[in-house]
Chain A
Amino acid sequence: MEAVEYIIEMCNITKEFPGIIANDNVTLQLKKGEIHALLGENGAGKSTLMSVLFGMYQPEKGVIRKNGQEVQINDPNDANRLGIGMVHQHFKLVHNFTVLENIILGVETTQKGFLKMDAARDKVVALSHKYNLSVDPDALISDITVGMQQRVEILKMLYRDNEILIFDEPTAVLTPQEIAELMKIMRSLADEGKSILFITHKLNEIKEVASRCTVLRKGKYIGTVDVAATSKEEMSEMMVGRKVNLKVDKAEPKIGDVIFEADHICVNSKTSQKHLVKDITLNVRAGEIVCIAGIDGNGQTELVQTLTGLIKPDAGTIKLNGADITHSSIRKRNTSGLGHIPEDRHKHGLVLDYPLAYNLVLQSYFEPRFCRGQFLKYDEIFKYADTLIEKYDIRSGQGAKTFARSMSGGNQQKAIVAREIDRDPSLLIAVQPTRGLDVGAIEYIHKKLVEERDLGKGILLVSLELDEVMNLSDRILVIYEGEIVAELNPSEVTIQELGLYMAGSKRNKEKEA
C-alpha cells in the first residue's frame, strides 16, 4: 500500500484528443490541506487534467486515488460525491437565475415536490458569512460582477461540502483588488483543511499562496517543486523550457503625428441618470502606447465600445487619421485602420463554432485575397491561417480546422491577438490583451506590441494589471468613474501613486469648464 499521505493522487494519466495528446502520462499528488499550483503554457493540458479529475473526461490511461483508494470518476456527480468541486475557467452559471438558485442547482432539497429554499438560504448565508464572501443570495447572476460570480462558484462548492477544490485560472478575470481577496479566501479555506488545486499563469500568485507547484509542458509532466525554494525565474523556465524575460525591453518612443482623437465623449447610462463616460477627451499619437488604467467598472468598457463602434456615444466626436468616424459603421472603422482586441473573448472575439481559420479572417474574409466575387477562397483562408498559427504559436489539436470551442483559453486569446495585430491597423485598441496567457506568450505579445509601436502605429491599451501598465505604456491616462482624472508619465510615477489615482483619491486633471 502507498502511504495515505495524499488526499488525491492522479497517476500516469493520459488523455488524447483528436490530433493531440493533451495529457501524456501525468502524475499529480495533492496533500490534505495544501494549496497546490498547476503551472504550464497555454494548451499544456492543465484544464484537461482538472476536467479528468472532475469526471468530465475519461482518461485513456491512468488511475485516480483518493486517500489511497482507487476511485472511478465517471461524471461530475461522482466527483461531487467524492467531495471534489471545480470553478471552471469560463464560469457555468445560469444568468437569469438568482445566486441562491444557482448554488442549489442540482442538489435541491424538496418537500412534497416543492423546493425547500429556506434551509438552503440559511446555509448559503452562513457560509457566505463564515468565509467573508458577502454574496447577496437574491441577486440575479446577470446583475453581479465577474468577481462576485466567482464567489458564487466558490459557494457552490462549499454548499456541496466539497473538500477538494479546483480553481481553473480564477484570477484571469479579476481585478487586482479582487485577486487579493480571493487569495485570502483560498488561504482560509486551506486553513480549514480543504485541499486546493490552483491553476494560474501568474507566478506572483503562486509565490503568494501555494506550497507546492506541479509543472506541465506540452501535455507532459515536468516536475513538482516546493514553491518557497524555487524562484519565479526557475519556475517559468521549467514551464517554457527556456529563459523568459519578465521585463519588457523597449527603447524611447519616436512619437509622430496624432492618429486618433476622441473629443468630449459622453455615454449615458440607459437605466439611471449617471454618465458612464463623462466628457472624455484623449488622443493617441503614432509611435506611442497610451494606457488607460483604472479599476474595473469605471467606464473603460463603455469607452472602448464607443470608440470601436459597438455602442453609440451620446455626445462627442471620434477621428481616425484625421477622418471623422463618429458615425461610421464598424466595418468602415475596421477597414480604415482600427484594430480591436475585445475584452470578452467569448462574447465578441470569437465565433466558437467556427474553425480557427474562419475566426482568423473574421474582419477580412471579404477582402479580395480571400474571396473571388461572392465566393470565399478556402485555400487562401487556410493558408493564411497556417501562417498565423505558425507565427504566433497558436496551439490546437487539428490546426486551422480546429473548432475554436475546443481550443484552450490562452490559445483562443492568442488567436484574437494574432488576427488583430496581423491586420496591421494604424490604431490598435487592446483590452487586456494578455488575459489568460502564459508568461512566454505574454513576453511575445508585449514584444509584438512594442514592435508595432516602433513601426509608427498607435496603441491604446486598456489594462487592469498594474505591472502591464507600468511596463508597456509611454503615457498613462487614469480613468475613474467615467472620467480621465490624471495623465501620468510611467517613468515618473510609482505603482503606489498610480493606485491612489485609480482609487480616485488623487487627480491632476481638473474638469474642463
Chain B
Amino acid sequence: MMKKLLKGDGIYSFAASLIAILLGVLVGAVVLFVANPAQALNGLKSLFIGGFVDMKNVGQTLYYATPIIMTGLSVGFANKCGLFNIGGSGQFIVGAYAAVLVGVKCTFLPTGLHCAAALLAAVLAGALWGLLPGVLKALCNVNEVISCIMMNYIGMSMVNLLVRKTVFDQLKNQSKMPAASAILPKMGFDKIFVAGKATSSANAGIIIAIVAGIIMWVVLSKTKFGYELKACGYNRDAAKYAGINEKRSIIMSMVIAGALAGLGGALMYLAGAGKGIHVVDTLAAEGFTGIPVALLGMSNPIGIIFAGLFMAHLTMGGFNMQIYGFVPQVIDIITSVIIYFSAFALFFQLVLRKKFNKGADDNANAEKALSAEAQALPEVLPENQGKGGEI
C-alpha cells in the first residue's frame, strides 16, 4: 500500500524536477547565445554531454557528485524534521579537517582501520557541529538558520587555524595529504573509469554516499524514529501531544544532518585526488550546493542521489565548455539558473497534479503554491511530499 502511494507521488516529483531542469537549460542557452553566439551550440552540447565524454569523465562525475550528495542528504534530512540546515558548509569543513587530521597523524593504525577511523572522526565532528544549533533550537528556540550560519564561520576560521597549527603544508598553503592507508579504496574504479592513461578520481566514496542515501530512506520511511521525525516536521504541536519527545527529535535530526555533511567532507578529502584543505576565508561551497541538491531531489534521499549526480554532470559539462572559450562565470550562471528553476520544482509539481489529478489537492495546496515563492525555504520543502493521491 505504502509503495503504491509513494509511486503515485513520485511521478509528479520526477516530472516536476524534469521540467525545472529543462527550463533552466533553456534560459542557460539564451545566456550562452548572448555570451558567445558563435560557440553557443558547441557549448550547449558540452553542457548536455557533461561527463559522458569518456569513461574518465564519467568517473569524475561520480567523484564530484559524492560530496554534494552528502550535503544534499544533510539538508534533506533536517528538512524532514522541519528544520533548515544551512550549516552544511561548517559541518562539511570540520568533518574534512577531522578526517585529514586522523589521516595524517594516526599512521600507526592498520590500513583498513585507519580509513574507517578517519571517516568516523569526520562523522563525529560534523555531528558536533550540528548538535549545537540543534540544542539551541530545541531548548532555547533559537532559529537554526542563524546559529547554523554562525557555526559556518566558526567552523571555517577554526579549521583554518587548526590546519596551520597541525597539518599544514607550507609549500602549497593547504593541509598535508593524508597517509595512503587513510585514503578511500578505489574499488577497482581506477580500472573501469579510465581513458587511455588518464584515470579518474572515482573511489569508494560514491558507494558510501549512495549507501548513506539508502539508509536514510529506510530510516525515514520504515522506522519509528523516522515516523517521529516527520511528525515533528509536519506538526510540532501534534507530535508533542502524541508524547513524542520533540526536543530530542530536533536535536537528533540536526546531529544526523551534521554527521552526513561531515562525512561528505571526509569523502572529498580522503579521495586521494591530491586535494587538501586550502587556508582561505571562504565558506566551503559544497555545503551550500547541498541546498539546491536537496531541493531538486525534493528532500527524498533517492531523489537527492540523482540530483547530486545531475549537478556533478553539469559541473563536468561546465569544465568541458571552457574548451570553447566560455569563462567559468558563464558556466556558473547557467548552473545557477538551473538551480534557481529547481526551486520552482514544487510549483511545477502542483501544476502537474492539478492538471492530471483534478481536484486531488485541496485549496490549501493551491494556496501554498501561490505563496511558495514568498515562503522561506524550510516551509517550502516539507510541503512537497505526502499530498493528494495517485492517478
Contact = CB atoms under 8 A, between A and B. Distances in A.
A362 B231 contact: yes
Interface in A14-40: 15-19
A87 interface: no
Interface string B183-212: 000000000000000000000000000000
A184 to B, nearest CB: 30
Contacts of B41: none
Contacts of B245: 329, 331
Contacts of B224: 365-366, 371, 374-376
Contact count band on B? 35 or more
A238 interface: no
B225 A56 contact: no
B386 interface: yes
Given A330-B243, A347-B238, A374-B225, A403 B231 contact: no
Given A16-B359, A376-B223, A363 B243 contact: yes
A491 to B, nearest CB: 35
A352 B235 contact: yes
Interface string B120-147: 0000000000000000000000000000
Contact of A351 (B235, B357, B364, B367): B235
Contacts of A501: none
Contacts of B235: 347, 350-353
Given A310-B241, A354-B386, A362-B242, A374 B231 contact: no
Nearest to B365: A405
Interface residues of A, number: 50
Given A351-B234, A403-B387, A406-B388, A363 B242 contact: yes
Interface in B217-243: 222-225, 227, 230-231, 234-235, 237-243
Contacts of A83: none
Name the residue among A51, A350, A362, A363 with the largest chain B CB count within 10 angstroms.
Answer: A362
Nearest to A378: B2
Interface in B86-111: none
A369 to B, nearest CB: 13
B134 to A, nearest CB: 20
B299 to A, nearest CB: 13
Contact of A51 (B227, B231, B363, B387): B363
A379 B386 CA distance: 19
B1 A350 contact: no
A119 B1 CA distance: 56
Interface string A375-399: 1101000100000000000000110
Interface string A129-148: 00000000000000000000
Contact of A358 (B227, B243, B362, B388): B227
Nearest to B223: A374
Interface in A303-332: 308, 310, 329-332
B364 A17 contact: no
A331 B243 contact: yes
B234 A352 contact: yes
Given A58-B359, A358-B227, A374-B225, A18 B390 contact: yes
A375 B2 contact: no
Contacts of B390: 18
Contact of B243 (A18, A92, A334, A405): A334
A348 interface: yes
Contacts of B227: 358, 365, 376
B38 interface: no
B11 interface: no
A409 B344 CA distance: 31
B1 A382 contact: yes
A403 B241 contact: no
Nearest to A329: B243
Contacts of A351: 231, 234-235, 238-239
B389 interface: yes
A118 B241 CA distance: 44
A16 B222 CA distance: 32
B366 interface: yes
Nearest to B391: A18
A43 interface: no
B388 A348 contact: no
A406 B243 contact: no
A348 B223 contact: no
Nearest to A54: B363
B165 interface: no
A253 interface: no
Contacts of A374: 223-225
Nearest to A60: B358
Contact of A18 (B237, B238, B364, B389): B389
A342 interface: yes
Contacts of A358: 227, 231
B5 interface: yes
B360 interface: yes
Contacts of B242: 330, 334, 362-363
Interface in B50-91: none
Interface string A328-340: 0111111100001
A355 interface: yes
A349 B237 CA distance: 9
B238 A350 contact: yes
A403 B386 CA distance: 8
Contacts of A382: 1
A398 B238 contact: no
Interface string B355-388: 0011110111011000000000000001100111
A18 B234 contact: no
B204 to A, nearest CB: 27
A375 B221 CA distance: 9
A448 interface: no
Given A350-B238, A351-B238, 17 more contacts: A15-B359, A18-B360, A56-B363, A58-B359, A329-B243, A329-B245, A330-B240, A347-B237, A347-B238, A348-B237, A353-B235, A354-B234, A354-B386, A355-B5, A362-B241, A371-B224, A375-B224
Interface of B: 1-2, 5, 222-225, 227, 230-231, 234-235, 237-245, 357-360, 362-364, 366-367, 382-383, 386-390
24 contacts: A15-B359, A16-B359, A17-B359, A18-B357, A18-B389, A56-B363, A58-B358, A308-B241, A334-B242, A347-B237, A351-B235, A351-B238, A354-B230, A354-B386, A355-B5, A358-B231, A362-B231, A375-B222, A401-B1, A401-B2, A403-B386, A403-B387, A405-B362, A405-B387
